[in-house]
Amino acid sequence: MRKGTSRRRFMGEGSIAAAALAGLAANAHAAEGGSAHLCVTCGTQFPESATPPAHCPICEDERQYVGPDGQKWTTLDQLRTNHKNVITKEEDDLYSINTMPKFGIGQRAFLIRTPRGNLLWDCVGLIDDQTISRIKELGGIAEIAISHPHYYTAMIEWSRAFGGAPIHIHEAERPWVMRPDPCVRFWKGESQTLLGSLPLVRTGGHFEGYQVLLWPAGAEGRGALMAGDQPQIGLDPKQVSFMWSYPNYIPLNAPTIRHIMACLDPLEYDRIYGAFVVRGKGIVFTGGKAVVRRSAERYLRAIQG
Ligand SMILES: [Zn+2]
Ligand SMILES: [Zn+2]
């Protein structure tokens, strides 16, 4: 489903990521007692270093952007002084986690509770004692899965706070993991089932290893699609869209849209939870599958003329 040009572009960016990591490794001794810096624009956390990294490859990628005032860094200690996480029940066994005020891209994460253990879907840059104690009250975190690199943020801190919970990331996104750690479990293939019978499906599109999660018990048993950025829920929750870059308005091509649809069509879901509340509620409450089909057909008509 990937065109050669996209793959070349992806590998090129991957090399940039590798170069940034090599630079950090060269400073390994200086890292003693340093901080794991977070990029202010995307929220990605890097390995500990005495001085901030030279670049953020996630933001320098064509899908993202460096902030208008140039590359800026912060640390978790700084972030904890003026931000907090708001944890809200969305429906039975589903809680959203929003950092306030907005930090980085501004996405939310979700805690899904299952009888076999809880899963953190997507991630945010802030984690603090208040967040940890509230999530422990809700049963903790047994596993983590993140849709794509824009939301990896402080995933290693989240895993460590919950006993080294494994983080499931598709193998195709390995070059975009800025803070490598043994808790990251790369998986290959097109789907796998996580703890609590939660299917993780690789659709590609926005990222080569883009993955969505199906929560079969969601929406009172009708199923909920945990979509992250793709399908992206519109201001009108009866519409969704699909983009290679949302900030820079770069669309996906028709074969990729058809592939995403072939991946989503077999899944049983009625509701869709997206990454953002800044535009509406970020939820398609009902009829989600028809919304996705109709939106994809319209998208194909729009790009094919
Ligand atoms: Zn960044
Ligand atoms: Zn994204």
Strands 143-145 and 167-170: parallel
Q: Note the pLDDT tens digit of each residue in 253-286.
A: 999 999 999 999 999 999 999 999 866 789 999 9
- How many CB atoms are closer than 10 A to CB 14? 18
Q: What is the pLDDT of residue 287?
A: 98
How far apart are the CA of 219 and the centre of ligand 1, in A? Answer: 34
Strands 224-228 and 232-233: unpaired
Query: Whole-model pTM?
Result: 0.89
Q: Note the pLDDT tens digit of each residue in 124-159.
A: 999 999 999 999 999 999 999 999 999 999 999 999
Q: Pseudo-torsion of CA 105, 169, 98, 226, nearest 10°? A: 100
Residues, Cβ < 5 Å to ion ligand 2: 150, 229
- Over residues 205-219, the mean pLDDT reads 98
- Over residues 37-52, the mean pLDDT reads 97
Domains of the chain and any CATH numbers: 23-78 (no CATH), 79-304 (3.60.15.10)
Measured distance CA(20)–CA(60) in Å, rounded: 11
Which string of b and e fits 184-197 if b means at least 16 CB within 10 Å?
beebeeebbebebe
The helix or strand, by DSSP H or E, that contains position 262, with its residue range, turns out to be helix 254-264
The overall average pLDDT reported for the chain is 91
Residue 4 pLDDT level (bands cut at 50, 70, 90): very low
Give the number of the ligand closest to the Cα of residue 245. Answer: 2
How far apart are the CA of 52 and the centre of ligand 1, in A? Answer: 12
Measured distance CA(301)–CA(305) in Å, rounded: 6
